[in-house]
Structure 1
Amino acid sequence: MRSDDAEKTLDPGTESDWNTLRELGHRMVDVMLAHLQGRREQPVWQPLPDDSRSALEDSGIPREGEGAAAAYESFLKHVLPYGIGNTHPRFWGWVMGNGTAEGMLAEMLAAGMNPNVGGFDDSATLVEEQVIGWMAELMGMPAGASGLLTTGGTMANLIGLAVGRHARAGFDLRAEGLRDGPLLRVYCSTETHSWLKKAMELMGMGRAGLCAIGVDSGYRMRVDELKQAIAADRAAGSRPVCVVATAGTVNTGATDDLVAIADLCVEEGLWFHVDGAFGAPAYWSQKLRSRVSGIERADSLAFDLHKWAYMPYDIGCVLVRDPEEHMAAFATGASYLTAMERGPAAGGIRFADRGIELSRGFRSLKAWMSLKSLGVDAITAVVDQNVEQAQYLASLIERSQRLELAAEVPLNIVCFRYTDADEAQNREILMRLQESGVAVPSGTVLDGRFAIRVAISNHRSRREDFDLLVGTVEEIGRKVVSS
């Protein structure tokens, strides 16, 4: 082979090239740690300037590489300053976690190993199994419960619903598919997250198969209406399959009466799925456990570790009480997945039999390292703190002459309005607040009226941040109303 025909690689070519990249990597770690350390002094959010927007939208395909250092400089200039802002202490928009420095470093280690965590006989598989076991124990599920780490709550919930549908459909749905026969019915509250509508459509049951139950004044599913709806569907020839209850609704943080719903599911022979996307970690706390009591009785439970467990995106979890039911919904055979007696494929590819994906990243490492380095008690203490901060914010609003609460505050979400402002003006107040860079709450609609919504799943927030929030909203509100 001629020297000019040398085989290619994407690794650095020489020892000097490796050292140059190593120095750049050290600089990246230093810059990102400094970024997190100084986040409080930066704006929460700021719009992209025209040059950055153009660089990210209009530049052509990079056929020729510019080198790692130049690419990194582009990241520093056009990307890092203009994120959504959820690493900031005063980001309370939607329900987003804000990550940790330890989790950031774990992501680097996971990328360096770069395994396909399909369930081979390797260390990455055992790390995920250990995390799943820890989660099952923390949630009060039985030893040996099955589970899977996912991209987030939507996929975790979809997997739980798919297992429940297979277990309660009354026929071999995997073999026969959806067929002429009784309409399969799934029940939820009117406050359930939109993942469920998408899942029903994707799974072929359609919106016709979804029955939304009304809520009480605290935005909790009405169990009496649920019982009536199940009876009416049976009488009409439909087949009730599953009830989806919520621990921490996305609008107000309300939790359905999980104990009563679990009892009803046992009585009716239905699958009991709990969407605990952000509220489930409250179960880890001795102070808060009673507010989500009944989670431990779920047939399947979905929640996000990147929300109220503060880990970097993305990492969700689904737990299934009965491992055989879990496997029955997904396990399949393929020649290239054949289990061997020894070697990496010894015992089969276990995670491929618990969900849809075969190729999976090493997302369990950030959970494993976060839990080992910080400890569950430290994480739980901040969950408790967020709930205390929500009560503190609620007290500030109640004492204000210009603000009013828009809903109860059962966990860590506070919804409020500027009293003298109409719907359009309250929206304007929120947008000006976000644009100011001081704080980023989000908005929602409760009982047909717009409300500013503060979702406190932030381990960096302090009480002084909520003082600043209330003062700034009052100041902006006065300007909007008087303009």
Structure 2
Amino acid sequence: MDGTPLILTSAERTRAARLLARFTDSYENSLTRRPIAPDEDRETLAKLLAEPFPEEGLGVDAFFADVVDRIVPYTTTIAHPRFLAYVQGPPNGIGPYAEAIAAVLNQNCNLWQISPAANVIERSIMDWLTGLFRLGPHSGGLLTSGGSGATKDAITAAIADRRTDFRERGLQENHAPLVLYTSDEAHRSVVKAAALLGIGLHNVRTIPTDDRFQLRVDLLMHAIAEDRAAGKEPFCVVATAGTVTTGSIDPIGPIADLCAKEDLWLHVDGAYGALFILADSARDALLPLSRADSITLDPHKLLYAPLEAGALLVKDMAKLRAAFAFSSTSSYLTAIDDAHLLDYMDHGPQLSRSFKALKVWAALRTFGVGAFRTVTERCLSLAARLGEHIADAPGLELMNPVTLTAVCLHMPGRNAEAHAELLTRLHEEGTAMLGPARVHEQACVRACVTNHRTTEADIDLLAERLIALAKR
């Protein structure tokens, strides 16, 4: 047979493009009418799981029919303006098109020689991000799969910086145990990284937080002193800029002071909150992140890139290279140094890396940075508005200071089951999709306003319904 069976003909490409345009327009125009939570027809999902793949292809039309009839009905409508369950907003408008172009180009962003334009685009994004946080002239970073990967890579760099023989000897020889510190409000990715990297959960100190859910620096200081006295080796503190439950920002400045005094690596998990630095009202609270050795960000949150797009920023790129660069014995991976380009395979764990940078770059170019400043400010304002509604409502209690965009509410006198029923009711009637939380050991309902489609009318409708249901 001539040619390959794995490309579309010109006519098929035209047909696929038309069907894609029809699908995206239909989806966009019907968002507010779609159910937020997906249908959970177990029988249909079981059939989809068990269906064998055909020996002969079904063609373009059948694929799009499957998308419309068999996939979309069982998919959460993330882009609905009242999807407020997680720190996850809908993609920006250019994202799907940038993803399609990235798939066509299919760049492997490991060596700059095979992806020069992609390399420069990723570096330009890192330059912009490190500039936002004023990390200095030696700073840089790379895009990752998400915040969890970025945090694991940061802790890897911190270990390699502390133990210069880590690559050869690991953590198994006669060293004092390394100890990592974080708060009891930190994301689970921190302890997961510690477990995967061989630090061990017994060597993670979970420091209590205060009444504003911020890490207590006095208790951190005490824990470090205790561990040193016990013959252990403190090496890293992971602070949080935007805890996932309450949106709290740890006291980064005092933590940085302590880390400098104790010679500890300071990593800040800013996957949720750090990019609120784009908003004028949050900038001062987040500028202390300039003192961090490394920062986790998530462009697939507040830059609204389609999943996946995380980022790791570091104050000193040489430390990333020291952790991740390995001399190659494979001639096909031989790199040529260039002052303006970067081999990302030497600054992170991946060799094969997708062109994630295009969708981030495309959004910043298409909409401009000012659009993201506007959206982040609006999200903060909408969350404050919801918090004010809850604080003033009979039968509801606001459980956290609305520092960023997380709003946790509790119905006094009601048990956990009643709060779960409230969530179910809101979902089933189509009002909103919120999530569960526990704050001060109380069952809560949590809204997180990180949706660029949410409006004041959506917030007011949600508040009115919450108040009405609480009265019942």
**Is the structural similarity TM-score above 0.5?**
yes
Structure 1 Cα separation of the partners of residues 314 and 25 of structure 2? 37
Structure 1 residues 395 and 137: CA distance shift in structure 2, 3 A: same
After superposition, give the CA deviation of every residue in 1:290-338 in whole Å (9 maximum; x if it has no partner).
Answer: 2223111110001101112222111000011111111000000223354
After superposition, give the CA deviation of every residue in 1:325-371 in whole Å (9 maximum; x if it has no partner).
Answer: 110000002233543559xx999971111111111111100000100
Question: What residue identity is the alignment partner of 2:151?
Answer: N
Q: Does 1:10 align with 2:6?
A: yes
Secondary structure at the residue paired with 1:402?
coil
Q: How does 1:315-334 map to 2 (within 5 A)?
A: 315-334=309-328
Secondary structure at the residue paired with 1:335?
coil
Pick from 426, 437, 462 the counterpart of residue 455 of structure 2. Answer: 462
Q: How does 1:271-290 map to 2 (within 5 A)?
A: 271-290=265-284
Q: Tell me what 2:442 maps to.
A: 449
Q: Does 1:357 align with 2:350?
A: yes
Q: Tell me what 1:339 maps to.
A: 334
CA contact (8 A) 2:276 2:376 kept: yes
Q: Does 1:126 align with 2:129?
A: no
State the 1:421 CA deviation. Answer: 2.4
TM-score when scaled to structure 1? 0.93
CA contact (8 A) 1:43 1:437 kept: yes
State the 1:285 CA deviation. Answer: 2.4
Pick from 365, 370, 376 the counterpart of residue 383 of structure 1. Answer: 376
Q: Does 1:39 align with 2:34?
A: no
Q: How does 1:93-108 map to 2 (within 5 A)?
A: 93-108=85-100
Q: How does 1:187-226 map to 2 (within 5 A)?
A: 187-226=181-220
Pick from 139, 143, 161 the counterpart of residue 149 of structure 1. Answer: 143
After superposition, give the CA deviation of every residue in 1:107-126 in whole Å (9 maximum; x if it has no partner).
Answer: 11111111111132321111
Q: How does 1:208-287 map to 2 (within 5 A)?
A: 208-287=202-281
Secondary structure at the residue paired with 2:18?
helix
- Unpaired runs of 5+ in structure 1? none
State the 1:63 CA deviation. Answer: 2.9
Pick from 163, 170, 174 the counterpart of residue 167 of structure 2. Answer: 174
Secondary structure at the residue paired with 2:407?
strand
After superposition, give the CA deviation of every residue in 1:36-63 in whole Å (9 maximum; x if it has no partner).
Answer: 2431222212323355413422212333
Structure 1 Cα separation of the partners of residues 174 and 25 of structure 2? 58
Question: What residue identity is the alignment partner of 2:427?
Answer: Q
Secondary structure at the residue paired with 1:89?
coil
Pick from 425, 433, 436 the counterpart of residue 440 of structure 1. Answer: 433
Structure 1 Cα separation of the partners of residues 463 and 189 of structure 2? 32
Point out the more displaced range, 17-26 or 409-418: 17-26
Structure 2 Cα separation of the partners of residues 284 and 367 of structure 1? 15
Structure 1 Cα separation of the partners of residues 263 and 137 of structure 2? 23
Question: What residue identity is the alignment partner of 1:367?
Answer: V
State the 1:392 CA deviation. Answer: 0.5
CA contact (8 A) 1:94 1:442 kept: yes
Question: What residue identity is the alignment partner of 1:194?
Answer: R
Kindly, what percent of the aligned residue pairs are identical?
A: 32
Over aligned residues, Cα RMSD in angstroms? 1.9
CA contact (8 A) 2:406 2:447 kept: yes
State the 1:467 CA deviation. Answer: 1.6
Structure 1 Cα separation of the partners of residues 417 and 355 of structure 2? 45
